[in-house]
Structures are given as C-alpha cells and as structure tokens.
Structure 1
C-alpha cells in the first residue's frame, strides 16, 4: 500500500517505450497519477541497432547467407527468453512446425535439447540454426533476412521486434507477468502480430498462421518506420533532456 501511494503521488514516470507507438495511451497513464505527473518515454534501443548489427557473430554470418542469396525476410526467429518453461511435447511440436513450415529459422533457446524426433537436427541442419544459449536478440531482429518472430511477448522482445519492423507470432505464457496483455496489444491494438493459440500448436496450425501475415507485416513495417523516425528526430533524447532538466530544477 505504501508503494502504491508513493507511485500515484510521484510527479513523473519513466516508460520503456516511445510515443510514436504508444502515444494514444500516454494520457490514460498520466491520469492515474496526482500532482500533474508527466510520462517520459525514453527508450533508447533503436539508436543502438546500428552499432549492434555489424557484430561479426556466428549466427549473424549464418543469417548473412540469406541476404547474399536474395532471400530477404525469409527466416523465422524463435525465442522464448530466459524464464519461460516449455514442456517436451511443446518443444517437439515447435520443432515439427519449423521443419514443416518451409522457411528457414533461427532458434534461440535456454534448454539443453530440442525435439525428441531422431535425426531432427540433422534434417534441418542446412535450413536451421539452433543456439542453446543467450543470443544478441536486437542484432538478429535488425537483420534483413528476418521475416517474423515467434515470441513469448516479453515487453523488451515486443519493442525490439516492432522497432525493426518485424511482425510477431505471439504465444504468451499466461502465468508470466504481462505477456498476455502485451500479445493482445500487439495483435488487437497495433495490428502487427498474429495469435498462436494452444490449439494451433496441438493441431499443427502454426504453419497456417505464418501464411496469414501480409497485412500484419505491412503494419509492423509501418511501426518500424515510426520508431526510426522517432530516433532521427531525437524524440527519446528530447524526453530524457526534459527529465534531466526537471530533476535538476527540483534539486535546486
């Protein structure tokens, strides 16, 4: 209760986002605060992508071959972060769907093994890249070979995907934080993603979802352009400067 009271009585809130995507919600957020509180959208990630995309990492080299063969946007990126737990059956089904869907894929996961089907890794060897460790996600999403992101919808993943104009296939883990709400915002609010339902996974329907994304892709690309425009115009930096100035004045 003390934390909630301190929150609503503060004079500002720093938000990990940018107004070009969520501007219509800023007023609603500010209305929850007293003292004419202001929202400062100071997310910094788009400005870092140029530095990251040139990293000569092994998986970047693997993605480069699809650019060299003129297969832009042909790779599906799959990652469920560091906290999500998937059952063996779910992982097996994802492995099957990736193999059957046709496009190449890049899979980043934090588990020791994937798929119980004998020979799966051998069959997809040339068309898939599986990394059983942490990956530099922003550099992957910024790569021109990436055409879609199957995600648990953690907020950082959502922002990083949209900032690069990459559409999302959303499969939130309902027992973790705000992922379900993020998925709803991406699909119903922004129109930049499609929902992957549990029955899709159980009935081998993920492949069909991948084929329905033309309008969603266009919308994701529009949001990506807005994100880059925000950086070029100095929007996040201006908000940060405004926050620093107000902090300085309050401490004088």
Structure 2
C-alpha cells in the first residue's frame, strides 16, 4: 500500500499538467488511480477507468460467500446460476465476507470512482466473455468497452539478426522438432525457495524441453539442476519478450500465474495454459481458463489447500498432461479457436468497433475529439 499512497501525492502535479494541456475531450486512467476521477471532475473532463482484468472478476465482488463453512464450499454468483465459485477461487482479501484489509478498503475507493466515471475501457474482447460483459452493461454499469487484446496492437518484433539468446535457443528446438513448455510467473508474486525447487525438480522429471523465466536472480534451484537439464532446458534470469516467446512455433504450453496480461498473451498466441495462480484476481482467472474456456489445465497444491506446496510429482504429471495428454490436446484445440476470435476482434471486429463507438459516443460526433489523454 505505500506505493498506492505515494501515487496520491501526484494529484496536484497531475491537475496542473492537465490544466496546461490543450483542450482535452477524454481522460483514460488506470482504475487503480481513483483520485484521477476527482481531478477530471474538477476540470470538467469525462474520465474512463481502464481495467486490465477480466470483466468476470468485477462481476463477482458482491460477497456472496458470506456464511460458508470452508474454502471449498461452492456458492452462486448473482446473475449467473450456472457459475459456482468457492472462496479458494477468490484472491485475498476478497475471500473474506467481512474484510478489514487495506487492499479491500482501497478496492471500495476504486469501485466508487469507477461508478462515478463515464465508463470503463477493458483489455478484453467481447467474444471471450460475452455473458459477463452483457451482465455488467445491463445490470451494473457504467458501460464497459472491450477493446483488446491490446497485445495484438503492438509493433512487430526486432529483426532476426538481433534475436536474443533465448529466442535462438527456441529456434534450435524448432529445428529439432522438440516442443517446449514455457514457464513464467510475473513480476509481483513471491514464490518460496522450496516451491521453486519443487518446480525445478518437476520440470526435470517431466523429460520435456522447457524455457523457464526465474525472477529471483540469485536463487538456488537445486544442486546441479541447471547442469543436468542443460541439453533440454533453459533458465533465464532476465527480462524476456513474453509475447514473442509464446508466438514461437516451438512453444506448446505455458505454465502461468494467470495474471490477466499473461492469459491474454497466451490466448492471442494460441498456447494452452497450465494455470498456477498466486495472488489477487489470479485464482478467478485460473478457474475461467480451466473450467469455462477450457483452454488450459489447473495445477493445485498437493495437500488440497489453496496456498500449500505443489510437489514435484504433481508438476511432472500436470506438465506432461498439458503437453502430451488428451486434456492438453483438447485445450490446445480450444485456444487456437479463441486466438482466431481475438485476432478478428482487433482486425475490424468487435474491439475495433467498440473503440470507435466509445470515441464517437464521448465526443458527440465523428472527429470531434481534440485530445484523448491516457495515464
């Protein structure tokens, strides 16, 4: 929370900068900057909240989990009789029906600012979650415009002569017709050393080729691990271009923490996921990936708890099922279809049209906007 508190100090400087810009027709700011809504109202500028998350996540924040006996007792989400969640599917502190955590208090502030905003811009696409988008627009509001996946709007990769070592390694796997499982867990979640060692041992036992991005540069993954797997495994301890990795023809599976950007990149690249959620809304994303979209499998702690250790034998079993098993093949077929839907949404389809309608709606008529500012 210190980072959130520090961001509030930007408010007077932000307002001064806005006031000195040419006339602004629309402000798009991250939903986690709720104070920007006050600034926009003060200056008479319509503000939209940018949501880099699943719309389903914000449809399931009405604490229907009140009165449950345990983390695994199912409950229904209002408006979705087909959907069953458990407290284990909700990130902390939203699994608590009466939370006092500062993050929950902050979420209330975010919700209030969002409700007072002109609308929501979401990094999602309609075909991915139509029931949730419709429910939000019809029953909750303000209106959401899905304009993603934004990763498909990025520039092309660098030329081949500037390819980093990990991409050249993937090229070598492709030349040998050896499929690769890619593993990465984002930049925020802290993974314990015992869990990292179990993951390393599971990858080694799987017998599969793998590229694993490890954020902790100095962590010991087990004595002799990297030497033993050198012929078929690559551990990278630096920033990588994840989307380019996922787009590589050799990559056949993605072991992911299910951060929403990573999920969208996996979908856009047509790569099935092994869902291993860590924090925040990631458990909800993981359930969506595995149970609703059926574009991936879910790995769970060996003792059945939400935060327990995932043992090496379970890592081995689930990675092999993703890459070689029938469930993995089904997930791969499903995600290929969804990848095509994502491409079409951005290429003149639903996301393109939503962006156009949003701009026309805010500005009143075509080309009336003088400036759109995003923060």
TM-score (norm. length: structure 2) = 0.61
What is the CA RMSD across the aligned residues, in angstroms? 2.3
Q: How far, CA to CA, are the matches of 1:137 and 1:116 in structure 2? A: 22
Structure 2 contact 202–312 (Cα < 8 Å) conserved: no
Match runs of 1:18-97 below 5 Å: 18-33=125-140, 37-43=142-148, 44-48=150-154, 51-52=156-157, 56-71=163-178, 74-97=179-202
1:2 is displaced (CA, Å) by 6.2
**Deviant stretches of 4+, over 6 Å:** none
Which structure's CA Rg is the greater one? 2
Instruction: List per-residue Cα deviations over 1:118-161 (Å, max 9, x = no partner).
Output: 21111111211111122111111111111111111111011110
Q: What corresponds to 1:220 in structure 2?
A: 335
Matched, 1:17 2:121: no
Q: 1:156 aligns with which of 240, 248, 261?
A: 261
Match runs of 1:1-252 below 5 Å: 3-33=110-140, 37-43=142-148, 44-48=150-154, 51-52=156-157, 56-71=163-178, 74-173=179-278, 176-199=279-302, 201-202=310-311, 204-210=313-319, 211=321, 212=325, 213-249=328-364
Structure 2 contact 147–346 (Cα < 8 Å) conserved: no
**Unaligned ranges ≥5, structure 1:** none
Q: How far, CA to CA, are the matches of 1:2 and 1:110 in structure 2? A: 32
CA separation of 1:103 and 1:53: change in aligned 2, threshold 3 A: farther
SS of 2:129 mapped into structure 1: helix
Structure 1 contact 78–149 (Cα < 8 Å) conserved: yes
Structure 1 contact 105–127 (Cα < 8 Å) conserved: yes
Q: What corresponds to 2:81 in structure 1?
A: none
TM-score (norm. length: structure 1) = 0.88
Structure 2 contact 200–221 (Cα < 8 Å) conserved: no
**How many residues matched?**
245
**Unaligned ranges ≥5, structure 2:** 1-107, 303-308, 370-375
